[in-house]
Amino acid sequence: MSAKGSELKRVRQSRKANTYNKHYKSRMNTAISNFLSLDKKEAIKELPKLIKLIDQTASKGVIHKNKANNKKSQLASYTNK
């Protein structure tokens, strides 16, 4: 059988959501990798900005809130070592 209207709409919606999520995930992961390449003193100053970005990504539903908390905890322990 060929694809019908609701099936095609679901494909369109999922593609749109996929590009939306990919944008925010990429933004977050780039910020994290840039953070990990900083010196410890600079990293401590940048930590609040990164935490805010991770929280924004979680609030948009791109990542789960527990995953966001795990990432924030890992980054905080990285700065404390």
Q: What is the mean pLDDT of the chain?
A: 95
Number of residues assigned to the chain: 81
Residue 2 CA to residue 75 CA, distance in Å, equals: 49
Q: Where are the domains of the chain?
A: 5-80
Task: Measure the CA–CA gap between 27 and 49, rounded to whole angstroms.
Answer: 13
Q: Rounded to two decimals, what is the model's pTM?
A: 0.86
Yes or no: is domain 5-80 CATH 1.20.58.110? yes
pLDDT tens readout for residues 67-79: 999 999 999 999 9
| Block residue for tokens 């527990």 | 66
